[in-house]
Amino acid sequence: MTNAAGAAARRAPPGAHMDVAAVAATDVRIRRGAHRRGRGGHVVIHGVTFTVPRGSVTGVIGPSGGGKTTLMRAIVGVQSSVDGDLRVLGHAAGDACLRRRVGYATQAASVYGDLTVRENLRYFAALAQADDPDDPTRAPGYLDALLAHVGLTEQAPRLVDHLSGGQRSRVSLAVAMIGGTDLLVLDEPTVGADPLLRRRLWADFRQLAERGTTILVSSHVMDEAIRCDRLLLLYQGRLLAQGTPADLLAATDCGDLEEGFLRLVEAPNRPVEGGDRTGPRARPAPAIPTGSAAEAPSAATAPPTRAAPRAADHPPGVAPCPRRRAIDGLRTGATAARVLRQLGRDHRTLALVLLLPPVLLLTLRLLFHRSPDTFNRVGPALLGIFPLMTMFFVTSVAMLRERTSGTLERLLTSPVGRGDLLVGYGLAFAVLAAAQAAFATALTVGALGLTVRGSAPMLFVAAILSSFLGTALGLWMSVFARTEFEAVQLIPAALIPQFMLCGILVPRHGMLPALDAISTVMPMTYVVDAMARLSTSRHVDRWLSRDILIVTGCTLATLGLAAVTLRRRHP
């Protein structure tokens, strides 16, 4: 292992106490697919009790569907509906102060395919560095050493999308190594790795563990289990056994682990098969003489509790979490720069955002070439509406891509905060929105002959405000979609009613009173009003000020809603 790659492991962060278990689980039960305030779903982990000692390589071993990923998600704090007591480095799992200490590599690569390998590592390193001027990733040559370490030096300038599956997994592993100074949670990290690399990775896990980093690694390959210090054998959400590989072999009287595992599965006293909706009370795993019984309290004696409180709850000897800023300039700036870089490479989206509003306005001009008055009436309103719509579309889909690619889940286990993320996104899209508004306004006023009796620069400012509103609405509404397909369904639902009632099709005074009342709670109405006032008058009267204030207030309130509804934990 290289010096730089091990630097994180050597540095003990404040609050790191080697006598506190890396993971301590007491009667942990997890439901998946739960919704409506945590109800529903089915029990996937049926009350497991175990400890993972510091500085060990612990394997979570078991067949597919046994609950390995679910357990790991709970440990890194992105799994909802976790009951029982689950502590990581002495803190409640998912506690904010674990984010610089726990690294997580999901099963899918969960890195940005449209960034290069080096850009991915730089971004995650920037998030880690923000709070700490002494962060080991700031050391000169750190990223080069890390790249060499995972065998990706040559691939550093290549887009991740252009790499093989195994190479992508290695990028993901390198990102996890940046994040985890104390605990690395790796979900099947060797899938797709060739035998040579697999051997090297396991040697690295060993070295990292010797330097103090705890490695929790899942696998369903039994020949990897033998390389672990300790094993947690999971079968159908129940812990069949925990202990060293030698303990397991001795207890099952078998020559190899696979046979031993099968024997445990077939043992008459193994726990009841599960998957039921309520799940039976947990039984302790069959006793294997591990010499560590004191570490693992019995589920039978542990009182069933709700998940441990999230904050300010730490046992003696564990330092409380330092306060962190909700929005950090470095993390926000790094996120904005990353999103801008991605946008810069996405030529199709750039073309859509920059060209669609002007093309639509040009079409409108041609449609009304015999009646310029009509163009002058609806043109300014559409100068506000088209940018709002395109920015809504682009931001909601971009945010969703974060969710579906797994990068959002990874980010939410990193030091980045929800505020950093949304403000970073907002800033990047604001740049795009400003370019869009400038382009559309200049073309409409300059080339298409839109008559503006008011101030053209003010019209431009209002068009930018309208794009910001679309950006904020898109960031928020993406929370209600799980796939790009669902995001596309949001567009007509969120925008068409606003378009119909904003006063552009029928003036508001001509509407039924009920429809007029509905239109007053729709932000697009105020965009249209502001644009109409700006195009007909030079004066900034109180009505125009009111419209602009409402649009700005709606944008900020929607960004706030997006931050509140961006959940860290998922079913």
Ligand X SMILES: Nc1ncnc2c1ncn2[C@@H]1O[C@H](COP(=O)(O)OP(=O)(O)OP(=O)(O)O)[C@@H](O)[C@H]1O
Q: How far is the CB of 32 from ligand X (least distance, A)?
A: 4
Q: How far is the CB of 245 from ligand X (least distance, A)?
A: 19
Q: How far is the CB of 224 from ligand X (least distance, A)?
A: 13
Return the residue of 39, 64, 278, 541 that touches ligand X, per CB under 6 A: 64
* Segment near ligand X (CB under 6 A); pick from 49-57, 63-71, 76-84, 499-507: 63-71
Angle at 370 between CA 364 and CA 374, to 5 degrees: 55
Q: Does 212 bind ligand X (CB under 6 A)?
A: no
* Segment near ligand X (CB under 6 A); pick from 66-74, 122-130, 429-437, 513-521: 66-74
Is residue 176 within 8 A of residue 184, CB to CB? The reply is yes
Return the residue of 13, 38, 53, 65 that touches ligand X, per CB under 6 A: 65
Q: How far is the CB of 384 from ligand X (least distance, A)?
A: 40
Residue recorded with tokens 């929005």: 327
Q: How far is the CB of 478 from ligand X (least distance, A)?
A: 18
* Segment near ligand X (CB under 6 A); pick from 65-73, 133-141, 276-284, 402-410: 65-73
Q: Does 66 bind ligand X (CB under 6 A)?
A: yes
Nearer Cβ to ligand X (69/413): 69
* 89 alpha-carbon distance from chain centroid: 22
Q: Does 68 bind ligand X (CB under 6 A)?
A: yes
Return the residue of 49, 56, 58, 69 that touches ligand X, per CB under 6 A: 69
Q: Does 274 bind ligand X (CB under 6 A)?
A: no
* Length of the chain (residues): 571
Return the residue of 28, 44, 163, 193 that touches ligand X, per CB under 6 A: 44
Is residue 210 within 8 A of residue 9, CB to CB? The reply is no
Q: Which of 52, 24, 23, 29 is nearest to 304 (CA)?
A: 29
* Segment near ligand X (CB under 6 A); pick from 58-66, 365-373, 395-403, 501-509: 58-66
Nearer Cβ to ligand X (62/357): 62
Nearer Cβ to ligand X (242/519): 242
- Give DSSP secondary structure letters for 30-54: EEES-BTTTBSSEEEEEEEEEEE-T
Q: Does 40 bind ligand X (CB under 6 A)?
A: no
Pairing of strands 82-88, 230-235: unpaired
Residue recorded with tokens 């969120």: 494
Q: Which of 225, 185, 11, 2 is nearest to 99 (CA)?
A: 185
Nearer Cβ to ligand X (107/405): 107
Nearer Cβ to ligand X (32/314): 32
- Give DSSP secondary structure letters for 111-127: S-TTSBHHHHHHHHHHH
Nearer Cβ to ligand X (234/343): 234
* Segment near ligand X (CB under 6 A); pick from 57-65, 295-303, 308-316, 361-369: 57-65
- Give the interface size with ligand X as a residue count (CB under 6 A): 14
Q: Does 138 bind ligand X (CB under 6 A)?
A: no
Q: How far is the CB of 569 from ligand X (least distance, A)?
A: 12
Is residue 328 within 8 A of residue 124, CB to CB? The reply is no
Q: Does 70 bind ligand X (CB under 6 A)?
A: yes
What is the 3 state secondary structure string of 259-284? HHHHHHHHCCCCCCCCCCCCCCCCCC
d(C-alpha 408, C-alpha 563), whole Å = 13
For 25, list phi and psi in degrees, rounded to 5: -115, 130
Q: Does 46 bind ligand X (CB under 6 A)?
A: no
d(C-alpha 444, C-alpha 436), whole Å = 12
Residues forming beta bridges with residue 215, ordered by sequence position: 57, 184
Nearer Cβ to ligand X (235/393): 235
Q: How far is the CB of 218 from ligand X (least distance, A)?
A: 6
Q: Does 33 bind ligand X (CB under 6 A)?
A: yes
Q: How far is the CB of 44 from ligand X (least distance, A)?
A: 4
Nearer Cβ to ligand X (42/158): 42
Nearer Cβ to ligand X (46/54): 46
* Segment near ligand X (CB under 6 A); pick from 59-67, 302-310, 449-457, 478-486: 59-67
d(C-alpha 383, C-alpha 361), whole Å = 8
Q: How far is the CB of 88 from ligand X (least distance, A)?
A: 18
d(C-alpha 430, C-alpha 349), whole Å = 15
Q: Does 220 bind ligand X (CB under 6 A)?
A: yes
For residue 210 the two structure tokens come to 């010797």
For residue 553 the two structure tokens come to 């207030």
Q: Which of 231, 279, 221 is nearest to 81 (CA)?
A: 279
Q: How far is the CB of 65 from ligand X (least distance, A)?
A: 4
Residues forming beta bridges with residue 551, ordered by sequence position: none
Return the residue of 22, 27, 32, 228 that touches ligand X, per CB under 6 A: 32
Q: How far is the CB of 28 from ligand X (least distance, A)?
A: 13
Q: How far is the CB of 571 from ligand X (least distance, A)?
A: 6
Is residue 35 within 8 A of residue 204, CB to CB? The reply is no
Q: How far is the CB of 41 from ligand X (least distance, A)?
A: 6
Q: Does 67 bind ligand X (CB under 6 A)?
A: yes
Q: Does 569 bind ligand X (CB under 6 A)?
A: no
Residue 264's alpha-carbon distances to 45, 203, 223, 287, 550, in angstroms, are 18, 29, 17, 11, 65
Nearer Cβ to ligand X (67/380): 67
Of residues 99 through 118, those in contact with ligand X by CB under 6 A are 107
Helix, strand and coil content of the chain, in percent to the nearest 5, comes to 50, 10, 35
What is the 3 state secondary structure string of 344-401? HHCHHHHHHHHHHHHHHHHHHHHHCCCCHHHHHHHHHHHHHHHHHHHHHHHHHHHHHH
For residue 493 the two structure tokens come to 């639902």
Q: Does 25 bind ligand X (CB under 6 A)?
A: no
Binding site for ligand X (CB under 6 A): 32-33, 44, 62, 64-70, 107, 220, 571
